[in-house]
Amino acid sequence: MELSRRISTLTGGGSDGWDVFNRARAMVSAGEPVVELTIGEHDIRTDPTILAAMDAAARAGHTGYAAIPGVRALRERVAARVSERTGVPTGPENVMVTPGGQAALFAAHHAVCDEGDVALYIDPYYATYPGTIRSVGAVPRAVQTRSRDAFQPRAEDLDKAAEGARCLLINSPNNPTGVVYARETLEGVARVCRDHDLWLISDEVYDTQVWEGEHLSPRALPGMADRTLVIGSMSKSHAMTGSRLGWVVGPEEVVDHMITLALNTTYGVPGFIQQAGIFALDQGTALEEKIAAPFRRRRDLAQEVLAAQNTVVPIPSQGAMYLMLDIRATGMSGDAFANALLDTHKIAVMPGESFGQAAAGHIRVAMTVGDEAFLQALETLCSFAAEQAQ
Ligand code: PLP
């Protein structure tokens, strides 16, 4: 029996970019002591107070079908959080709760793209972006950025790529680069969206992890609130990756249509998870800062290690839980470097090539193991790079 073209071409062919990750996991399963600096997940679990709220909510009866757009109280909390942080008046009618940011990305693209429409995204990119675009029948078109620009997109490149496109997906703070888009970058993005009548899908799931500069939501820029869909999630901000709790914020009319989509796809998010989300958001920024603190600390430690050598060139680390390192001085591709580092030192990092062509010759290091192991691994990585460069 034949499958749909849409599902059988979802990955676009070729490697899915997870080879090193899979190899590392296989080594761990075989009992080998691998330091895994690959996937973007905290080394702590969800806070026990959030789990207690989840448990209490389930026992209090929040185990039936929950309101599909999200329960009113959660939509209100998200709206208040967005209004407070961005200054853009936002109400519960502008919010749809989703099973994680990934489902929000799918819903947003589904809402604005027709079959065959061109959807822009920035290279390097979070691994699921092209597949998410293909999953709604749209055609992904990458806009290349440059290492020497710290991977901030140039308005003139966006302008060229925007001809005939329907939407643009951006992500700041950025995975995989750890870069926070400057105001100037976002103003360029907004200008291109207005000039070419593009929808902007702004993935802001790392908005609580900013080490340098400030997070600016482009929805707050002039003329952008009516054409921007913001993707949010509690995965990274509250170490709730497994709870699958996220949202889309946008114009009410778009939200209404996405609710119809949810009715026919996800059927909402479990009520006890939503209640736990309300509890977590009610803890305010104190809890968010506690969750972000280990990454901030490790990023500072990494700055010292990286400053003491001159083979590996770091991309300015401004936010999110990753370091993007230029290892071109070794003469190796990111892929070859990551495989060799795993083989020789049992340290697993992601090749830049896993995130597109723009990050070839780079590696992404997730700061997701304890400080001591992280520092040791980074020092080993730098020595290894220096040996390769000789
Ligand atoms: N967007 C970015 C940039 C990510 O890095 C991730 C997860 O790693 C997601 C979205 C999806 O996160 P979730 O579906 O867990 O909210």
User: From the alpha carbon of 203, which atom of ligand 1 is closest?
Assistant: 1
Give yes or no for residue 172 CB within 6 A of ligand 1: no
| Confidence at residue 14, expressed as pLDDT on a 0 to 100 scale | 65
Q: Backbone phi, then psi, for 89, in 5-degree steps?
A: -55, 125
What's the CA-to-centroid distance between 227 and ligand 1, angstroms? 22
Task: Tell me the whole-structure pTM to 2 decimals.
Answer: 0.97
Residues paired with residue 124 on neighbouring β-strands, in sequence order: none
**CA distances, 276 to each of 46, 71, 271, 281, 330 (Å):** 11, 12, 9, 9, 47
Question: Residue 334 and residue 336: Cα distance in Å, rounded?
Answer: 6
Phi, psi of 285 (to 5 degrees): -70, -20
Residue 291 CA to ligand 1 center (angstroms) comes to: 16
Q: Candidates 126, 180, 245: which one to mutate for ligand 1, based on the most atoms within 8 Å of Cβ? A: 126
Residue 350 Cβ < 6 Å to ligand 1? no
Centroid of ligand 1 to alpha carbon of 205 (angstroms)? 6
Amino acid identity at 4: S
What is the number of the ligand 1 atom nearest to the C-alpha of 101?
A: 16
> How close is the Cα of 389 to the center of ligand 1, in Å?
34
Q: How far is ligand 1, taken at its centre, from the CA of residue 59, in Å? A: 29
Q: Which long-range contacts (CB under 8 A, 24 or more apart) does 219-223 make?
A: 219/86, 219/88, 219/249, 220/86, 220/87, 220/88, 221/186, 221/187, 221/190, 222/190, 223/190, 223/194
Could you tell me if 16 and 334 are in contact, meaning their C-beta atoms sit under 8 angstroms apart?
no
CA pair distance 188, 171, nearest whole angstrom: 14
Element (H, E) at 348: strand 347-351
Residues in the chain with pLDDT values less than 50: none
Sign of CA dihedral 69, 70, 73, 76: negative
Measured CA distances, 222 to 165, 370, 389 (Å): 21, 42, 48
Q: Whose CA is nearest to atom 5 of ligand 1?
A: 175
In tens, the pLDDT along 229-272 reads 999 999 999 999 999 999 999 999 999 999 999 999 999 999 99
Q: Which of 109, 235, 269, 273 to mutate to test the pocket of ligand 1 (most atoms within 8 A of CB)?
A: 235
Protein residue with least CA distance to atom 16, ligand 1: 101
Q: Is the CB of 333 under 6 A from ligand 1?
A: no
Tokens of 234: 């509690």
**What confidence tens digit (pLDDT) does each residue in 6-20 have?**
999 888 776 677 899
| CA separation for the pair 136, 109 (Å, rounded) | 7
Check if 101 has its Cβ closer than 6 Å to any atom of ligand 1: yes
Give residue 310 CA to ligand 1 midpoint distance, Å. 32
Domains of the chain with bracketed CATH:
5-45+286-385 (3.90.1150.10), 64-283 (3.40.640.10)
Q: Where are the alpha helices (DSSP H) in the chain?
A: 5-8, 19-29, 48-59, 72-86, 100-112, 129-135, 155-161, 183-195, 234-237, 252-263, 271-282, 284-307, 334-345, 371-389
Would you give the distance in Å from CA 363 to the centre of its chain? 17
